[in-house]
Structure 1
Amino acid sequence: MSEALRHSESSPSGRPRLVGRHLALVFAATLASLTGFFLLMSVVPMYARDGGAGEVGAGLATGTLMLTTVLAELGLPRLIRRFGHRTVLAAGFLLLGLPSLALPASDGMPMIIAVSLVRGLGFAVAVVATGAMAAALVPPERRGEGLGLYGIMTGAPSVLALPLGVWLAEQVGYAPVFVAGAVLSLAALAALPGLPGRTGTGGTDEPAFGIGAGLRSAVLVFPAVAFAATSMASGVLITFLPAVTGLAAGALLVQAGTATFARWWAGRAGDRHGAGRLLLPAVAVAGVGIGLLVFVPAPAAVFPAMVLFGAGFGIAQNASLAMMYEKVPLSGYGTVSAIWNIGFDGGMGVGGAAFGVAADQAGYPVSFALTAVLIFLVLPLARRR
């Protein structure tokens, strides 16, 4: 980031200001684009299931969405360096919003998969580019707190839009929800004219810290993989909770709300005591939470499970990301954002697709138990280094 931009993000007293004008615009674009995304996140698998595709089809709807998300994230650091954040974000918001308008035309799997593949490209841009900009625009000494606030901006859409999309689809049908999701994602374009074309994460005058170097670094990959295991469970919940309990809207609201608060709290705690102390217990708590779902559809199991999983998931989000940013120069922020989001989105995609196959063969309780076991298996990767 340039010195001029750093100065513009400082308060008159000299104390580092957490949120300046540019970061506020990043937050606005994040809120709008991800609200549109999460409004459809559980609805599209429901649409596939109601169209006759069954559990495997519902899992494929999430899996294909995350497939192109992960593939796009591999190339985004280079694209951001070449074209700048603003241009890349504009293309991403268009790819995220416009394809949703085609969904009312057909509930067949070819249409659902085609739309999901394109929307995955847009989603990759929305999370990687905004995440890298947010990390560059907060003062380093307040990075955890800033990432926690950014986590609220990314978590609030899931808190509100995930259960709202399920409820609206049941009340007014699928087509209005698809249109609303498209409009919200496209509204993020309004924030772009006020953003800088580049921050320090995209300047071509800096030495590149590319995705290849990042993927060879254990201090980046290990936290990302540990977090990816919890993200895998999140993809399972988003895709299949509406199928296993009539309390899905309320349960998703509790899970997303707990995760958002936990992510913010972890940012403040990590700045004071170190983010590395938080990751291992967070992953363990998430595993316990998902393990409780072997008792679904009992309400006494669903809501405690959502609280525990949400807390572990939210803390793991912030702790893993803060640990990774600590290990790279400013020019590597785009790479860190990409690798972390690959873990996030790849985990969600694998979780949704694999769980659909497992549930079809062994049933939901066994599949939830297997998911918990996989989370516990990655605990050694979550140790502080």
Structure 2
Amino acid sequence: MTTTCEIPVVDVPAAQRLVTGQFAQLLAMVFGSGLSMYLLTSVVPLYLAASGSGGIGAGLSTGAMMLSAVGVELVVPRMLARWGYRVVLGLGLILLGAPSLILLLTASLPIVLAVCVIRGAGLAILVVGAVALVAEVAPSHRRGEAFGVYGLAVGLPAVIGLPLGVHLTNLIGFDALFVLAAVASLAGLVTVSAMPQTTSVEEQHVKVLGGLRGSGLLMPTFVFAAVTVAAGISVTFLPLAVAKDKHSLVATALLMQAITAPAARWLAGRYADRIGPAKLLAPALVFAAAGAGALVLIGSTVAIVVGSTLFGIGFGAAQNLTLTLMYNRVPKSRYGQVSALWNLAYDGGWGIGAIIFGAVVAGTGYPLAFGLTAAVVAVAVVPAVQSLP
């Protein structure tokens, strides 16, 4: 007589796959929409300048998109709670991609600015919705690593799209590039059906700026904003601060920053899951402050390249660490709020930093202005250290 015994199957959380089919499709959507954005980031200003709108029009196009994104980010959590991920992310893809086709018809400044505003709204929906969804679908004990992988999907389009967009204008022209940018975003619609129809909890905290006292969210929000201030300044003013005959140096420096940021974001996520994001945040800020401070020596080739590389490391790590820290401190009902707050710090710091720096540099010159930028990041080290358990 043979007896059999059943061996119980035990689920081991550590064995959970990080990149599931659903997560992979989300990453594909993020990559395509990011490529759509970055292909036109430098091209739209060129398009306006070529059409006679000059530097003022070029600056307004970037400002219109960023201000639109900041405004819409405040309402995305409410949209997610009401309509769910499929509808909201699909709307974001359409708003980011489809208006690019309008640029085939006209270079009129008011219409181009309207296109930038609509695309900014689409961008806001996608970044807030995607980050919140990553927090939902990733295993909680591997959340930092998940944000690191997400960071690669977000960072690669910048590395590819920023130089490629400008290069392609000489090969295929503006019109073909506008179509390519539209397709890159709209292609993501095929992945929408794989996204959850609704959020995972019924009661969502939809007020982005509500209930912040005692939530543990204010410190990482302000710390990250300090770093994004420096990020916006470096990308905007480094090309202006360096002599025109050294534009290849600027391209190299910005490329190093664009490459190191997503790599550091991924590595920071892996280690944050093991030792906690709070312990790594202060060192990341030190890297960012050192990188920003190196630009004081704006006449040195080594200082520019090394400084941009150090800043890229600190900036990328700070992106992951602040985001992971914020999600670790809230229940699922506040995931949308965290995503909106973090993206507000990103876009708001980027825009405000560029505006203030432009006013300061007129009176101080570039070296001192870059030194003040580094000081802003360095000051953020204090609350990061004080938050350690």
So what's the TM-score if we normalise by structure 2? 0.86
- Which residue is equivalent to 2:191? 191
- Which residue is equivalent to 2:65? 65
Contact 2:69–2:120 (CA under 8 A) maintained in structure 1: yes
When residues 14 and 308 of structure 1 are mapped into structure 2, their CA distance, relative to the original with a 3 A threshold, is closer
Aligned mates of 1:268, 1:188 — CA distance in 2: 28
When residues 371 and 49 of structure 1 are mapped into structure 2, their CA distance, relative to the original with a 3 A threshold, is farther
- Which residue is equivalent to 2:258? 256
- Which residue is equivalent to 1:7? none
Secondary structure of 1:246's aligned partner: helix
- Which residue is equivalent to 1:4? none
Q: Are 2:232 and 1:230 aligned?
A: no
For residue 161 of structure 1, what is the amino acid of its counterpart?
G
Deviations 1:146-200 (A, max 9, x none): 1111111111111221222233346555444333222211211121122221232
For residue 247 of structure 2, what is the amino acid of its counterpart?
G
Matches within 5 A, 1:270-309: 270-296=272-298, 298-309=300-311
Aligned mates of 1:24, 1:258 — CA distance in 2: 23
- Which residue is equivalent to 2:208? 211
The CA deviation at 1:107 is: 5.1
Identity %: 43
The CA deviation at 1:80 is: 0.2
Aligned mates of 1:327, 1:220 — CA distance in 2: 8
Using CA pairs under 8 Å that are at least 6 residues apart, name the structure with larger relative contact order, 1 or 2.
Answer: 1
Contact 1:18–1:142 (CA under 8 A) maintained in structure 2: yes
What runs of 5+ residues in structure 1 fail to find an aligned partner? 1-9
Aligned mates of 2:303, 2:20 — CA distance in 1: 43
Secondary structure of 2:16's aligned partner: coil
Aligned mates of 1:210, 1:312 — CA distance in 2: 30
Which has the higher mean CA deviation after the structures are superposed, 355-364 or 75-84? 355-364
Matches within 5 A, 1:156-175: 156-169=156-169, 173-175=173-175
Contact 2:204–2:334 (CA under 8 A) maintained in structure 1: no
Contact 2:78–2:206 (CA under 8 A) maintained in structure 1: no
Contact 1:159–1:252 (CA under 8 A) maintained in structure 2: no
When residues 135 and 51 of structure 1 are mapped into structure 2, their CA distance, relative to the original with a 3 A threshold, is same
- Which residue is equivalent to 1:125? 125
Q: Are 2:222 and 1:221 aligned?
A: no
For residue 25 of structure 1, what is the amino acid of its counterpart?
Q
Deviations 1:74-100 (A, max 9, x none): 111111000001101111111111222
Contact 2:219–2:383 (CA under 8 A) maintained in structure 1: yes
When residues 345 and 207 of structure 1 are mapped into structure 2, their CA distance, relative to the original with a 3 A threshold, is closer
When residues 147 and 377 of structure 1 are mapped into structure 2, their CA distance, relative to the original with a 3 A threshold, is same
Matches within 5 A, 1:4-83: 15-48=15-48, 57-83=57-83
Secondary structure of 2:247's aligned partner: coil
Deviations 1:245-296 (A, max 9, x none): 5124333321111001100000011011110011122122212212222334
Which has the higher mean CA deviation after the structures are superposed, 68-77 or 51-60? 51-60
Contact 2:205–2:336 (CA under 8 A) maintained in structure 1: no
Which of 369, 375, 388 is residue 373 of structure 1 equivalent to? 375
For this pair of structures, how many residues does the alignment match? 373
For residue 378 of structure 1, what is the amino acid of its counterpart?
A
For residue 350 of structure 2, what is the amino acid of its counterpart?
M
So what's the TM-score if we normalise by structure 1? 0.87
- Which residue is equivalent to 1:340? 342
Aligned mates of 2:366, 2:167 — CA distance in 1: 23
Contact 1:214–1:220 (CA under 8 A) maintained in structure 2: no
For residue 80 of structure 2, what is the amino acid of its counterpart?
I
The CA deviation at 1:129 is: 0.5
For residue 24 of structure 1, what is the amino acid of its counterpart?
A
